[in-house]
Amino acid sequence: MIDVSGLTVRFSGITPIDDMSLVFPVGTCGLIGPNGAGKTTFFNVLSGFVKPVAGTITAFDQDLLKMADFRRARWGLRRTFQTEMAIEQLSVYDNVAMIHEHSGAKRSSRRSDVHTALEFVGLPIAPKTKVGVLNARERRLVELARAVVGEPRLVLLDEPAAGLPDEETAHLSQVIRKIPDAFGALTILVDHDMSLVSRCCATTAVLDFGKLIALGPTEEVLRDEQVIKAYLGTEEDVAPLDATEDE
Amino acid sequence: MSTAPAASPEAGARAPFGIERRLAIRAVVIAALLVFVLVPLPSLVGSDWLTTFSSTAIYAIVALGFGILYGRVGMISLGQVALLSVGVWIGARLAYGTGMPYPILLLATGALTCAVGTLVGLPSLRLSGLYLALITLMFAGATTIVLSVTDFPNGGGGFKGRSVTGALTTETPPVRRPSIAEGDVAFYRYIVIVAAIMFLLALIHVASKPGRAWASIRESEPAALAAGVNITFYKMWAFALASFMTGVAGCLFASQVGVPRVITFRTQDSLTLAATALIGGVFSLWGALVAAVFNQVLPFLFQAEWGIDTNFLLIIFGVGLLQVLLTAPGGLAQQFPRDVANLGRFVLRGIRSLRRPKGERP
């Protein structure tokens, strides 16, 4: 469980996250919103890249904001980025083993843990293959394996399906949906693909201009009038230009 | 590098065998090469070639250090030859000032150079790219000036002994060599073995936890941070390792030439080394060897064998660098095997089409 209360992030002049309070229960939770809504900024706060001006985040009874950024991985935080960041120079195995090495999980279980993660994501590639020769879909699966290896507690997936065709997103959604049961990790999924979010997530939160505008069962949230308005935009609610994040 | 992406599980299952076979072939090739340069090579060439090969082995270690910093971690350092001269200086002073056994002398020189190099690497925590290149180049320039001002190597008894003329006297004998390898041939073999150990050290690092952490830093620092990599620690580790190896190379160099002179190390040599290292290829350990051949064997060929001004080499390196950066970022170490494979395929195709009777062609 992760409990966010009164979270505010401010950069010079703009407020990407404005007094956000929400609770993500267990399972896979969605986090959606139009461009510039503050989704990635929220992930950056969780990763420790961005320091909020106010608010607290309690994750599994621990104050996440007090933890040094590079220690959060050891604690159990995993994340992927919008742009795929699997390491080209390394093999598939080394890509995943590298996360395991810094996770605090036991060294003796590394080989089996890495293979479990690779089997879990269903990557049909020899583990010794260099990531540099893989295609976009395979690299996304490597990233997913990196996100679940080494006893994760909180898995943040930032548009894991970006740039993938629909038929490949289907396999991805099956994998993502299974993460909480297989590894016991709370998973937060940010994506623009509503079909992916509704297939994976029981609970979904919606952000708009840094404010939480809806939170609840995914089906209900997606039918919410305010959410539809936020996505389609209305006459009196035109997005100011400077609020757009580089998403 | 040439592994084709495996499309099906069956193809994936076959691949490990191919990789293991390639590893075995590589091990055999390396062992054969090592035996060749150690055993028959010294008796096949003259003493001037032997000196060139000795300095090639030494510069291979320096290029290896550059390759670790730039190829593995992505930190550019244009002061590696300057660091080598620091190693030469420390090695020479320790050799004159102490009576420690030669292997200990190597380690001590490596450790002290490591301290200097890590200090020079500190800006890399905040700077990268052009700025880091400039800072390290400034270090190279400063080193040249300091060494000139102090009449490097000004050998003499003890740590502070001075001999302004630089001439060899009974008080300033050449920098000593290990007692088991006093002669030129024996010391050449000693250098090659130490260089091989340095390559092994680099290989162990690259293939284990530090190598993977470096690769993740090179790919993306935010992603490395999110993966729990202590970026400060691993960057400093890379500088420490590269400087240690360069220091060891410096100590070997001091003993190899006996009377090291400041004119041997110019600021621009650090730039030339970076250029040749890029031409050789910074992503492969072989690249360091290719770089050293370019850096040491070519100048020797030009000057001693062909009588051409070595300054022409700068033009060749410039063109070579341009060519590599534009068409083969992996350098010769990656491109050459590919070219050979392509050539082989081309020749095979030619032979096949010749064998086929003309009438059968569609």
pLDDT digits (tens, 9 = 90+) for B302-311: 887 788 887 8
pLDDT, mean of residues B175-203: 91
Determine contact, residues B265/B81, Cβ cutoff 8 Å.
yes
Interface touch B226/A77, C-beta < 8 Å:
yes
Q: Is the pLDDT of residue B72 over 80?
A: yes
Chain B residue numbers with beta carbons less than 8 Å from the beta carbon of A124 are 6, 8-9, 12
Q: In this complex, how many residue pairs, one in chain A and one in chain B, have their CB atoms less than 8 Å apart?
A: 94
Classify burial at B142, counting beta carbons within 10 Å of its beta carbon; exposed 0-12, middle 13-18, buried 19 or more: middle
pLDDT, mean of residues B161-185: 72
Question: Which pLDDT score is estimated for A243?
Answer: 46
Best CA proximity match to B73, nearest among B273, B258, B182, B235: B235
Residue A79 pLDDT grade (very low, low, confident, very high; cuts 50, 70, 90): very high
Question: Which pLDDT score is estimated for B4?
Answer: 42
Residue A155 burial (CB count, 10 A)? 23
Tokens matching residue B344: 């082989």
A140-A186-A150 Cα angle (round to 5): 65
Chain B residue numbers with beta carbons less than 8 Å from the beta carbon of A86 are 219
Min Cα–Cα distance to chain B from A247, Å: 16
Interface touch A47/B209, C-beta < 8 Å:
no
Question: Which pLDDT score is estimated for A117?
Answer: 92
Q: Which residues of B touch A (CB under 8 A)?
A: 1, 3-6, 8-9, 12-16, 19, 209, 212-213, 215-216, 218-220, 222-223, 225-231, 283
Residue A151 CA: distances (Å) to CA of A47, A65, A75, B90: 17, 20, 9, 48
Q: What strand order describes the sheet that includes A14-24?
A: A14-24, A2-11, A54-59, A62-63
Question: Which pLDDT score is estimated for B10?
Answer: 41
Tokens matching residue A131: 């990531």
Residue B216 pLDDT grade (very low, low, confident, very high; cuts 50, 70, 90): very high
Q: Percent of chain A beyond pLDDT 90?
A: 28
pLDDT, mean of residues B122-144: 89
B180-184, B235-239, B273-277: range with lowest mean pLDDT: B180-184
Q: Percent of chain A beyond pLDDT 70?
A: 94
Q: Is the pLDDT of residue B8 over 60?
A: no
pLDDT, mean of residues A226-235: 72
Q: Is the pLDDT of residue B157 over 90?
A: no
Q: Is the pLDDT of residue B172 over 80?
A: no
Q: Percent of chain B beyond pLDDT 70?
A: 87
Residue B6 pLDDT grade (very low, low, confident, very high; cuts 50, 70, 90): very low
Angstrom distance (rounded) from CA B281 to CA B71: 8
Residue B40 burial (CB count, 10 A)? 10
Report ipTM for this prediction.
0.84
pLDDT, mean of residues A51-56: 90
Angstrom distance (rounded) from CA B213 to CA A229: 45
Question: Which pLDDT score is estimated for B235?
Answer: 94
A59-A61-A62 Cα angle (round to 5): 65
User: Does residue A206 sit in helix, strand or coil?
Assistant: strand
Question: Which pLDDT score is estimated for B2?
Answer: 41
pLDDT, mean of residues B273-298: 89
Question: Which pLDDT score is estimated for B56?
Answer: 93
Min Cα–Cα distance to chain B from A124, Å: 5
Angstrom distance (rounded) from CA B19 to CA B29: 15
A185-210 pLDDT, tens digit each: 999 999 888 888 888 898 899 888 88
B317-355 pLDDT, tens digit each: 888 888 888 888 888 888 888 888 888 888 988 888 887
Q: Is the pLDDT of residue A235 over 60?
A: no
pLDDT, mean of residues A78-100: 91
Chain B residue numbers with beta carbons less than 8 Å from the beta carbon of A98 are 209, 212-213, 215-216, 227
Interface touch B219/A70, C-beta < 8 Å:
no
Classify burial at A194, counting beta carbons within 10 Å of its beta carbon; exposed 0-12, middle 13-18, buried 19 or more: middle
Interface touch A49/B225, C-beta < 8 Å:
yes
Min Cα–Cα distance to chain B from A128, Å: 7
Which chain B residue shows the shortest CA-CA distance from A47?
B226
A42-51 pLDDT, tens digit each: 999 999 888 9
Residue B245 pLDDT grade (very low, low, confident, very high; cuts 50, 70, 90): very high
Min Cα–Cα distance to chain B from A182, Å: 20
Chain A residue numbers with beta carbons less than 8 Å from the beta carbon of B6 are 124-126, 129
Question: Which pLDDT score is estimated for B324?
Answer: 86
pLDDT, mean of residues B192-211: 94
Angstrom distance (rounded) from CA B115 to CA B112: 5
Question: Which pLDDT score is estimated for B3?
Answer: 42
Which chain A residue shows the shortest CA-CA distance from B210?
A98
pLDDT, mean of residues A59-67: 87
Q: Is the pLDDT of residue A245 over 50?
A: no
Residue A246 pLDDT grade (very low, low, confident, very high; cuts 50, 70, 90): very low
Question: Which pLDDT score is estimated for A238?
Answer: 47
Q: Where are the alpha helices (DSSP H) in B122-262?
A: 129-149, 184-206, 209-219, 221-226, 231-257
Determine contact, residues B333/B290, Cβ cutoff 8 Å.
yes
Q: What strand order describes the sheet that includes A154-158?
A: A77-79, A154-158, A186-190, A28-32, A203-208, A211-217
- Record the pTM: 0.84
Question: Which pLDDT score is estimated for B158?
Answer: 63
Mean of the per-residue pLDDT values for chain A?
86
Residue B9 pLDDT grade (very low, low, confident, very high; cuts 50, 70, 90): very low
